[in-house]
Amino acid sequence: MEDLHIEPESLFVKLFRYNSPFDLLDDPISPYFVLKAGYEEDNAHVSALAPSFSTSAAEVYELPCEAWARRISGVFGNALANQSPDKAHAVITLNGNQSDYTVSVRAPLSNRTGADEVCTQFATGGAAKRRQGLTNYQSTRNNAFSRLLIIFTTNFLA
């Protein structure tokens, strides 16, 4: 919760003061503009990132243990998938304990299956065929994850 731009209870109270959602757009200090500015600031961090691993079939990006990274990782993964619909993508974000990661995996949009086959090979993996994730992923295994992603993209997408 400490990573959020506005706590949910506070956001509810602030939004409840507006008679219409459109009134938010007329108030420059409304929660809409606070969240919009926060999103734009978070997104600016990822615009300069390069993949830590890249092939013609997959890319892996690593994000630091920062509040902005935790807020933007899912949106960033979706943006990568939309920018390169024939590639699989993984966004690996360092957790607060500095020893493991949260991983967000996107299957290629052109073939929305297989992310589950990659992630379920790890103890903490789970979700859907096109979008998958891992929690508490051990940092010493990043190379193993990248190799598994290569196998996935080679075998299932060829």
Percent of the chain with pLDDT strictly greater than 90: 43
The span from the CA of 104 to the CA of 95, in Å, is: 13
Kindly tell me if the per-residue pLDDT of 117 is higher than 80.
Answer: no
The span from the CA of 73 to the CA of 37, in Å, is: 17
The span from the CA of 59 to the CA of 81, in Å, is: 10
Question: 41-79, pLDDT tens digit by residue?
Answer: 999 999 889 998 888 888 889 899 999 999 999 999 999
The span from the CA of 77 to the CA of 82, in Å, is: 9
Question: 133-144, pLDDT tens digit by residue?
Answer: 545 555 555 565
- The model's pTM is 0.76
Strand partners, 131: 106
Q: Which two tokens stand for residue 139?
A: 């940092």
The span from the CA of 48 to the CA of 60, in Å, is: 14
Kindly tell me if the per-residue pLDDT of 84 is higher than 60.
Answer: yes
